[in-house]
Amino acid sequence: MGKLRLTKSQARQFILSHQGLWPPHCLTGKRGVLRHIGLVGCIQFDPLDIVGHNSELVLQSRVLGFRRSMLQELLYDERQLIDGYDKMMSIYSVQDWPFFRRERESAARNLANGAEPIKSILPQVRKDIMDRGPLSSIDLDYNDRVRWPWGPARLSRAALESMYLCGELVVHHRVHTRRVYDLAARHLPPDLLSTPDPNVGEEEYRDWRVLRRIGGIGLLWERSSDAWLGIPGVRSKERRESLSRLLTQGKVTEVSVDGIAPTLYLRADDETALYSALSDRAQAPRAAILAPLDNLLWDRKLVAELFDFDYRWEVYKPAPLRDYGYYVLPILYGDKFVARFEPARDSSGGALVIRNWWWEPGVTLSDEMRLVLIDCFREFLTYLEADNLTIDSQAAERADLGWLRPD
């Protein structure tokens, strides 16, 4: 089959539909959470919690009535989702566990050939968990510092994370951002634990990861970007080889978008959804507050090309070098980004605080947009279980936000 040809507007509409950000707003409850994660493969986790973790912010923008407790129940009570590494730290369906077997086996080989301080305490750590139940690093008295990929770490943390990366442990629950671990065999079915890797060879596995990552956004090009992070052994050369094989196998379709030089790729299984999205009758636009590591934003250059929106997460930038603020969230309206704002929580009363607000150039606030944004913030307050909204007086005056009173 030849290339599909889309306008930028059509490409935006499909990606937003794929991401659950295009009307109608039909994902609801825990079933909606599972449906969305099943479609995109994974959502990214980040420990920062300003107005929720990144994973929770992703879901509140897509799932009507989403509450943080829903994700916790699916992860740690029902075990339908699992913490794991995919697009860096991520959350994905427990049914995908077998597909990452080779990563766990690779981690086990590295551990077997690794530093003695960690290996020497593993039998005792294993016994402690068997005897005492779920444990975190603060429950183990191994205080020596060892070299670790994310910097020097306590030996207890390195040991637990090593066992986790090998698949011997899973996250039992979290206490804020601290992971509490337990034996995987206590929480995952034996048949799932013993399922062999569905991908027989390394090429097949790489192809699966590349195809999965395309589905994580909806449309994606081969160009290097953060969208491709977290796939070991796959750089530009390997991506091109995988895409060539996937094209030959009919698993991806090439897409040409007017005004964008590089070819984009679509999962062949999503073609029907693309045609359906483009044939839908126009509906009233909806608005959404997006997470900083939202799937839609994984490839910032692609977002700039398609949406004419330049977004950088500036939490790691020194304050004097930031263009906007420490933790700034984009606001989507229809198929355009119209604003971004810096949120916070009032520590005394729990209110949502808008510390700053920036309209995108050329945006004119219409009556319809105003009402839709008010509804959007009303839903955001409900998700946060916040009783009211406070706007910094200077921000309110500068951005003319007197209308934003969702209560």
Angle between helices 116-132 and 101-112 (to 10 degrees): 120
Task: Let me know whether 140 and 205 are in one domain.
Answer: no
Start-to-end C-alpha separation, the chain = 52
pLDDT tens per residue across span 311-336: 999 999 999 999 999 999 999 999 99
Domain that holds residue 382: 312-399
Task: Let me know whether 56 and 25 are in one domain.
Answer: yes
Residues counted in the chain: 407
Task: Let me know whether 169 and 208 are in one domain.
Answer: no
Question: Model confidence at 348, in pLDDT bands (50, 70, 90)?
Answer: confident
Task: Let me know whether 141 and 175 are in one domain.
Answer: yes
Task: Let me know whether 166 and 210 are in one domain.
Answer: no
pLDDT computed for residue 401 by the predictor: 96
- Dist. CA 391–CA 382, nearest whole Å: 17
Please name the helix (run of DSSP H) or strand (run of DSSP E) that holds residue 391, with its range, or none.
strand 389-391
Any domain includes 285: no
The answer for residues whose C-beta is within 8 angstroms of residue 283's C-beta and 6 or more apart is 23, 24
Task: Let me know whether 87 and 120 are in one domain.
Answer: no
Any domain includes 376: yes
Task: Let me know whether 82 and 219 are in one domain.
Answer: yes
pLDDT reading at 151 higher than 90: no
Task: Let me know whether 38 and 174 are in one domain.
Answer: no
- Dist. CA 170–CA 187, nearest whole Å: 8
Domain of 177, CATH number, reads: 1.10.10
What domain count does the chain have? 3
- Dist. CA 225–CA 222, nearest whole Å: 9
Any domain includes 104: no
Question: Model confidence at 1, in pLDDT bands (50, 70, 90)?
Answer: low
Any domain includes 306: no
Beta bridge partners of residue 340, listed in sequence order? 330, 358
Any domain includes 404: no
- Dist. CA 388–CA 380, nearest whole Å: 11
Domain boundary among 187, 213, 243: 187
- Dist. CA 188–CA 208, nearest whole Å: 23
Task: Let me know whether 125 and 156 are in one domain.
Answer: yes
Beta bridge partners of residue 389, listed in sequence order? 352
Beta bridge partners of residue 153, listed in sequence order? 146
pLDDT computed for residue 302 by the predictor: 99
Task: Let me know whether 182 and 205 are in one domain.
Answer: no
Task: Let me know whether 274 and 126 are in one domain.
Answer: no
Any domain includes 407: no
Any domain includes 251: yes
Are β-strands 329-333 and 352-359 bridged in parallel, bridged antiparallel, or unpaired? unpaired
Burial environment of residue 89 by CB neighbours within 10 A (0 to 12, 13 to 18, 19 or more): middle
Task: Let me know whether 10 and 93 are in one domain.
Answer: yes
pLDDT reading at 122 higher than 90: yes
Any domain includes 300: no
Question: Model confidence at 237, in pLDDT bands (50, 70, 90)?
Answer: very high
pLDDT tens per residue across span 57-90: 999 999 999 999 999 999 999 999 999 999 999 9
The answer to whether residues 332 and 294 touch, using CB atoms and an 8 Å cutoff, is no
DSSP letters of 223-286? S-SGGGTT-TT--HHHHHHHHHHHHHTTSEEEEEETT--SPEEEEGGGHHHHHHHHHSPP----
- Dist. CA 68–CA 53, nearest whole Å: 9
